[in-house]
Amino acid sequence: MHLVGQEGQLQVHTAPYRGSFSVVLSEALRAAGLGRKVMVTQFLKGGVSQGPSGLVRLCGRLEWLRPAIPFCLEESTHSETNQIDKSIAMKAVEEVWDVCKNRILSSKLDQLVLDEVGLAISLGYLKEEDLINTLEQRPGSMDVILTGPSIPSRVISMADQVTELRCGY
């Protein structure tokens, strides 16, 4: 008998607007409920000052991670983002990325959701090349799901599955 190992996928769920991808969150909860190790990371969602030391564990196998900032990071120049030093926000997002990168390279997850990672790149919080290099090194059995607008075209070309929402609210 020949056993076949599980093959992971790189999935992209994108839209021209910021919004929730409830199907991705449902999939993450379901996977955790079935015993897979899952992490959902939201790069631009703050408000809970969580950071790596405040990582939330749900359903026994689902980890939820947000940056240690007091509010959500926005594209707008009129947002609260301008109220804090950009270097603080940059450091908080980089800390979250470091956790994700470590989990990918150490094969400690079955599924990783990177919410708004493309927007984090386009806003200058993360480097596209670092994301691509890390994704290229991911274990073959790990699912990585990227959500949100502004996913780099090089990442889209790497994806096994691309889902694009085309209608607005």
Q: Is residue 4 part of a domain?
A: no
Task: Pick out the chain residues at pLDDT < 70.
Answer: 1-6, 19-20, 49, 75-84, 168-169
Rounded distance between C-alpha atoms, residue 135 and residue 117, angstroms: 12
Q: Is residue 24 part of a domain?
A: yes
Q: Is residue 5 part of a domain?
A: no
- Reading the block at residue 163, the tokens are 């889902």
Read off the pLDDT of residues 106-130 as tens digits, 9 standing for 90 and up.
998 999 999 999 999 999 999 999 9
Q: Is residue 169 part of a domain?
A: no
Q: Is residue 17 part of a domain?
A: yes
Query: What's the domain count of the chain?
Result: 1
Domain containing 104 — which CATH number?
Answer: 3.40.50.300
Q: Using alpha carbons, select from 111, 53, 29, 46 the residue that is nearest to residue 84.
A: 46
Q: Is residue 160 part of a domain?
A: yes
Longest dimension (CA), the chain: 62
Domain that holds residue 122: 10-164
Question: pTM of the entire structure?
Answer: 0.87
